[in-house]
Amino acid sequence: MMKVASLFKFWLMIGFAAGSPLTKVGAPSTHFDYTNPQKWEEHESNCAGQHQSPININTDEVIVTNYPKFIFQNYDLVFPESLENNGHTVELKIDNEDDEDDLPSISGGGLDDRYNFAQLHFHWDEGLLGSEHTINRQKYSAELHVVHYNTKYGSFDNAVPHADGLAVLGILIDLQARDNIAFRHLEQFDKIIDPSRTISDRLQFSVPLVDLLPDSTESFFRYNGSLTTPGCNEDVIWTVFETPIAISVRQLAKFRLLNDENGMPLRKNVRPTQMLHDRVVTYRPDPNPIQSLFSFPSNLPNLFKPFSNEFQQSNF
Ligand SMILES: *[C@@H]1O[C@H](CO)[C@@H](O)[C@H](O)[C@H]1NC(C)=O
């Protein structure tokens, strides 16, 4: 009996160490829904392409690459922001009538150009596994997509036809017991429960984009892909950060209160993972990882001693 109990503890530990699930992001279009995403290609031939998103990222097959770190410009500034329910997701935009130069932007991180913020939106599912991208087949609870356009094309619309037109940051969302304070300002969905192209709701307290970034943006996965919604344009340089952000179950539930175009609850907006085909996924590891408990080899013998003894005594 003792042996069984110890083994059980051992597997519990493995379970905790193996961590949690993943999520993904998309972009809006006209009439489509998530009951049968395989049928999108009947109306949008792009969706049947060979470089589609999202994908599963198999960490055994990524190619470690020497990218510089990301530069986030004006990510810490406070802009007037509006939320819109487009029937497929909730989208946050910055209301700047005049100044494209002041928009938050990203560069570095292996991108050849500077990319301006266009919008951000979310993907979720009925359960707690609503990410679009998966890592080693594991889903996270939801996924945030921060969409940017290449400034050399001048605008989002002009950038869309180009293979290097868009850069999307995919941020996986995990669960935590406490609320994420940034989302408390963002989750004000009362006026946008039903979709509308005309009604968008100005946020009472704007969220600087930096508050939605993971604690570390040092390590990330990179591949060439597409929008995860019709038209499925293959014009996205994808970055999926290795470090997730986290929200509470209560905050995640807020997204499911939104309705779709038919007035039905928008329970899920996740496209299944797509084949990699001839693509590769590259990976920038964190050059200076924070040492955690498990990084200190000196801790390991004590930590694992009871279990390794168990193994020695048994018939494994
Ligand atoms: C994406 O496509 C560009 C242009 O073909 C190529 O130079 C780049 O290496 C690709 N990126 C990855 C991560 O494969």
State pLDDT tens for residues 55-77: 999 999 999 999 999 999 999 99
Beta carbon of 223 within 6 Å of any ligand 1 atom = yes
Catalytic residue among 67, 153, 162, 185: 153
- Catalytic, 149? Answer no
CA–CA distance, 255 with 266 (Å, rounded to integer): 8
DSSP per-residue string spanning 10-28 = HHHHHHHHT----------
Quote the tokens at residue 140.
């996270």
Q: Are the beta carbons of 254 and 187 closer than 8 angstroms?
A: yes
CA–CA distance, 228 with 24 (Å, rounded to integer): 9
> Looking at ligand 1, which residue's alpha carbon is closest to its atom 2?
224
Calculate the average pLDDT of the chain: 85
C-alpha 243 – ligand 1 centre gap (Å)? 23
Q: What CATH architecture applies to the domain 7-285?
A: Roll (3.10)
* pLDDT, position 291: 62
* pLDDT, position 292: 56
Summarised one tens digit per residue, pLDDT across range 257-307 is 999 988 899 999 999 999 999 999 999 999 988 765 555 444 444 444 334
Q: Which amino acid is at 314?
A: S
Least confident of 172-176, 203-207, 225-229: 203-207
By C-alpha distance, which of 243, 241, 238, 249 is closest to 273?
Answer: 238
The full length of the chain comes to 316
Q: How confident is the model at residue 97 (pLDDT cuts 50, 70, 90)?
A: low
Q: How confident is the model at residue 160 (pLDDT cuts 50, 70, 90)?
A: very high
**CB neighbours of residue 11 within 10 Å:** 10
C-alpha 250 – ligand 1 centre gap (Å)? 39
Q: Which amino acid is at 312?
A: Q
C-alpha 196 – ligand 1 centre gap (Å)? 37
Assessment of whether the complete model's pTM goes beyond 0.95 = no
> Looking at ligand 1, which residue's alpha carbon is closest to its atom 6?
224
- Catalytic, 153? Answer yes
Catalytic residue among 51, 75, 88, 149: 88
Q: Between the CA of residue 167 and those of 99, 144, 149, 226, 301, what are the distances in Å?
A: 20, 13, 6, 10, 44
Most confident of 186-200, 227-241, 296-310: 227-241
Instruction: Return the ligand 1 atom nearest residue 280 CA.
Output: 14
Rounded to the nearest 10 degrees, the angle between the axes of helix 300-313 and helix 2-17 is 140
Q: Between the CA of residue 58 and those of 88, 162, 269, 280, 283, what are the distances in Å?
A: 28, 27, 23, 10, 11
* pLDDT, position 252: 95
C-alpha 2 – ligand 1 centre gap (Å)? 55
Answer whether residue 16 shows pLDDT above 60. no
Question: 82-100 in b/e burial notation, b at 16+ Cβ within 10 A?
Answer: bbbbbbbbbbbbbeeeeee
Instruction: Return the ligand 1 atom nearest residue 65 CA.
Output: 13
Q: Are the beta carbons of 52 and 24 closer than 8 angstroms?
A: no
Beta carbon of 277 within 6 Å of any ligand 1 atom = no
Quote the tokens at residue 219.
């390590």
Least confident of 113-117, 118-122, 146-150, 296-300: 296-300
CA–CA distance, 63 with 59 (Å, rounded to integer): 9
Answer whether residue 17 shows pLDDT above 70. no
Instruction: Return the ligand 1 atom nearest residue 222 CA.
Output: 13
Beta carbon of 199 within 6 Å of any ligand 1 atom = no
* pLDDT, position 101: 79
C-alpha 113 – ligand 1 centre gap (Å)? 14
Least confident of 27-31, 137-141, 189-193: 27-31
Instruction: Return the ligand 1 atom nearest residue 282 CA.
Output: 13
Q: What is the helix (H) or strand (E) element at residue 135, kind and residue range? A: strand 134-135
By C-alpha distance, which of 19, 23, 54, 63 is closest to 284?
Answer: 63
By C-alpha distance, which of 136, 67, 133 is closest to 283?
Answer: 67
> Looking at ligand 1, which residue's alpha carbon is closest to its atom 10?
224
Beta carbon of 145 within 6 Å of any ligand 1 atom = no
> Looking at ligand 1, which residue's alpha carbon is closest to its atom 13?
223
CA–CA distance, 118 with 162 (Å, rounded to integer): 16
- Peptide bond before residue 154 is cis, with ω within 30 degrees of 0: no
C-alpha 282 – ligand 1 centre gap (Å)? 10
